[in-house]
Structure 1
Amino acid sequence: MSQVREIQSIEEWNTALEGSATRPLVVFKHSTTCPVSANAYDEFNKYLNNNENADADFVLVKVIESRPVSNQIAEDVAVKHESPQIILVKNKEKYWSATHWSITEAHMKAVMD
């Protein structure tokens, strides 16, 4: 399984964003109270479990618990906040994003491959 780490501070986000200059970064924004987000989170985890060698860093942001981080991400990569939301960042810029029911293992695989 590819490793995912939760980020909870602006400093952690800034470090992750800087890292995207040399390695792709996948950001999953998750609402812990939303059933649609729970489904998307399952799909995200399926991708992680089935693509152990994915060449990217993966981070999780819980949007309710870490609202300032979620807002900063939206500002830094110029993507309107939604949840659930997945954003692929390369060289500190949004490369691809999807929300809600568009977040599937198959969709992630197609983009990441």
Structure 2
Amino acid sequence: MGLLNKIFGSSTETTEEKQLSWISLTELQQLEEIKTKSETKTQFIFKHSTRCGISRMVKNQFEKDFDFDENQADLYYLDLIAYRDISNAIAETFQVVHESPQLLVVKNGTVVAHASHGAVNDLDLQRFA
């Protein structure tokens, strides 16, 4: 039964969930703000497809592993189904081909790393602190 509880969870177990300080990316002008803010603090953009199970799994794992506080980095969340125009603008602005899920790391106005699909959780984000 222990294995099944690990896989499916147990109603009697309590787990402490970490709440991330997501900044919703909903306006095109935020891209310029991200570039400017990246001069002094790392900016992360997480592009998520709310219709995709793989994207949901990657996002859940990312949330568990993300270990920055608000003083070290800003974490932007883009619902790319609702804001496809912003996703397209990200691809054009930062010269990164659109995929989802996708994580972009922005420093000094440029993307210094990016990954898509399961590789999002393979990025060593601490090196960008």
Q: Which structure: greater helix fraction?
A: 1
Please give the per-residue CA displacement for 1:16-70, whole angstroms capped at 9, x wherever unaligned: 222112111010000000011001111221123xx24372111000111011111
Whether contact under 8 Å (1:43, 1:103) holds in the other structure is: no
CA distance in 2 between partners of 1:52 and 1:18 (Å): 19
Q: Which has the larger radius of gyration?
A: 2
Structure 2 equivalent of residue 78 of structure 1: 95
Q: Does structure 1 residue 53 correspond to structure 2 residue 37?
A: no
Structure 2 equivalent of residue 63 of structure 1: 80
CA distance in 2 between partners of 1:79 and 1:52 (Å): 24
- Aligned residues: CA RMSD: 1.6
Identity over the aligned pairs, expressed in percent? 29
Paired residue total: 108
CA distance in 2 between partners of 1:52 and 1:80 (Å): 26
CA distance in 1 between partners of 2:104 and 2:88 (Å): 13
- Flag structure 1 segments of 5+ consecutive residues without an equivalent: none
Q: Give 1:1-113 correspondences, 5 Å limit.
A: 1-48=19-66, 51-53=67-69, 55-104=72-121, 107-108=122-123, 110-113=124-127
TM-score between the two structures when normalised by the length of structure 1: 0.86
- Flag structure 2 segments of 5+ consecutive residues without an equivalent: 1-18
State the AA in 2 paired with 1:99.
S
CA distance in 2 between partners of 1:67 and 1:10 (Å): 11
Instruction: Return the structure number with greater relative CO, CA threshold 8 A, min gap 6.
Output: 1
